[in-house]
Amino acid sequence: MDTVDTGPGTVELGIGPLTAAEVIAVARDNAVVRLTPEARTEVRRSRAVIEALAGDTEPHYGVSTGFGALATKHIPVERRAALQAGLIRSHAAGSGPEVEREVIRALMLLRCSTLATGRTGIREGTLDCYLALLNTGLTPVVHEYGSLGCSGDLAPLAHCALALMGEGVVRDHDLRLIPAGEALPAAGIEPVTLAEKEGLALINGTDGMLGMLLLAIAELRSLITVADLTAAMSVEGLLGTDHVFAADLHALRPQPGQALSAANLRTLMADSEIRASHQVEDCPRVQDAYSLRCAPQVAGAARDTVDHAALVAERELASTIDNPVITLDGRVESNGNFHGAPIAYVLDFLAIVTADLASIAERRTDRFLDPARNHGLPPFLAGDPGVDSGHMIAQYTQAAIVSELKRLAAPASVDSIPSSAMQEDHVSMGWAAGRKLRRAVDGLRRVLAIELITAARGLELRAPLRPGPAAAAAIIVLREAGVAGPGADRWLAPEIETAVGVIADGSLLAAVLAVTGPLR
């Protein structure tokens, strides 16, 4: 079996929790995953418990019974292999567009992490097969719809388990679509015939929800810093003041994220000729608009909400989610830990945060375009207003995205549709919360990209006054990437995508940090 080319490092999968960084390294950078000897020992020990129950005349859920509302039906020994395979085939019932590769890889790793704890009764060989899928870059096709976020992410995880059986379809490392029955042998992987309890162990987890939460947290941490940058550029370009970002003012309201954002804004606006030009006693400005003055309060609250979500994610990474579960003293017990409520709630919280951060950025952009509010700049920052429209429709695009983000901020976790003949009568809808958050994060990035190119143009129109070093570094990144400066109208869509790209690949922040030093 050959592993794919990987990023730096190897992730050791033991009986302890993974870190968020390890999950992202596997999901995005193809880091290799290895099972520790301690985990192998624990997996063998719990499997022995399941095998001891297999011949027991007393029914045991998932071992000698059906599933869900069929849990009262006893399954004879000779039909139990068919029971497990049938569970996976019937539950692999997803529909709709394919889910992104990084989400599926995160989901797979997190399921393997739970299996490695020795609390599920999986066989060592089955877990090795799962890890082989990850390490060879084979990614089962998972669909958008199918999980209710309770009893875990059943359909998404079932599509992954189906591939272990050599059924269904996968994409290889080059994203080619291949039947699993061909792809596994070609990669040197022997498909698995599932034994007692393994079907449940492979699908009864909150791994898809948690994977999407971890990926979103990583992106939002970066985007909130970008939001501080674009806010600073907007305040500077709109002749706002940085006095309101003073540390002693923010100490009056000791919200930690707010203080960090205010400190960033002070750093990002330092040494600006534009700011110095109106920092005089006879400046007519008394107070800036809320979208400028309150930037640290909004971005700071976003920071604090992300920190809360990260705390929930950290607890989930230390969790073992399965039903039934094998306890440390060897009991096999039913439980409700597969309910996705803790993850669903914070996924919804983050969608609210994302929408509001985009909303305030759009308001700052709009101020640049209005000659009644932009303090001497041309209408829409146009080269020849009337002939040229400038950034008029770029702001329309922002507004359309922000409106969509507000719709995506409506919580999924308040909904519940009973399923499985009312046995599963309350569900979390956490998978849906994760899916809409991914769309929201992408929308926020695009809104910030439009604020970035608008603020850059506004700052350059203040010439001969020069912006501060941080804004100047951001403008250089844009210009070198192909986003032109002020002038006649041109095709804007490619420039917006370029700005999205320099935010996404980290080059924008890297250039700014090279000038400012670390931001908070």
13-37 pLDDT, tens digit per residue, is 998 899 999 999 999 999 999 999 9
Residue 8's pLDDT is 55
Q: Around 147, how many Cα atoms within 13 Å sit in the side-chain half-sphere?
A: 37
Inform me whether the pLDDT recorded for 203 exceeds 50.
yes
Specify the pairing of strand 325-326 against strand 332-333. antiparallel
The counts of H helices and E strands in the chain are 20, 9
Question: How far, in Å, CA of 122 to CA of 111, rounded?
Answer: 11
Contact assessment for residue 195 and residue 62, using Cβ atoms and an 8 Å cutoff: no
Whole-angstrom Cα distance, residue 280 to residue 258? 27
- Of residues 327, 332, 333, the one with CA closest to residue 42: 327
pTM of the model: 0.94
**Which residues form the catalytic set?**
61
- Residues contacting residue 331 through CB under 8 Å, at least 6 positions apart: none
Nearest to 394 by CA among 334, 456, 317, 324: 456
| Cis peptide upstream of residue 324 (ω within 30 degrees of 0) | yes
pLDDT in tens, 41-63: 999 999 999 888 876 667 766 67
pLDDT (tens digit per residue) in 445-504: 999 999 999 999 999 999 999 999 999 999 999 999 999 999 999 999 999 999 999 999
pLDDT of res. 15: 85
Q: Are 236 and 457 in contact (CB under 8 A)?
A: no
* Segment 258-281, tens digit of pLDDT: 999 999 999 999 999 999 998 766
Per the DSSP assignment, residues forming a β-bridge with 34 are 12
Q: What is 212-276+287-320+360-413+437-516's CATH topology?
A: Fumarase C; Chain A, domain 2 (1.20.200)
pLDDT of 379-433, one tens digit each?
999 999 999 999 999 999 999 999 999 999 999 999 999 888 888 888 999 999 9
pLDDT value of residue 206: 95
pLDDT in tens, 147-198: 999 888 999 999 999 999 999 999 999 999 999 999 999 999 999 999 989 9
Rounded-to-integer distance, Cα 282 and Cα 261, Å = 29
Higher pLDDT, 328 or 127: 127
Interval 77-103 mean pLDDT: 91
pLDDT at 283 over 80: no
**Within 13 Å and on the Cβ side, how many CA atoms surround 284?**
1
**10-205 falls under which CATH superfamily?**
Fumarase/aspartase (N-terminal domain) (1.10.275.10)
**ω into 469 cis (within 30 of 0):** no
Domain ranges of the chain: 10-205, 212-276+287-320+360-413+437-516
326: three-class secondary structure by DSSP: strand
With 60 as the cut, is the pLDDT of residue 248 above it? yes
Of 455, 508, 483, 509, residue with least CA distance to 230:
455
- β-strands 95-98, 139-140: how paired? unpaired
User: What pLDDT is attached to residue 349?
Assistant: 98
In this predicted structure, the answer to whether residue 69 has a pLDDT above a threshold of 70 is no
What would the mean pLDDT of 303-332 be, rounded to a whole number? 94
Binning pLDDT at 50, 70 and 90, where does residue 66 land? low
Residue 299 or 324, more confident: 299
Specify whether the CB–CB gap between 237 and 463 falls below 8 A.
no
pLDDT of 5 reads 47
Using a pLDDT cut of 90, give the percent of the chain over it: 84
Residue 76 has a pLDDT of 74
As given in the structure block, the two tokens for residue 210 are 């948690």
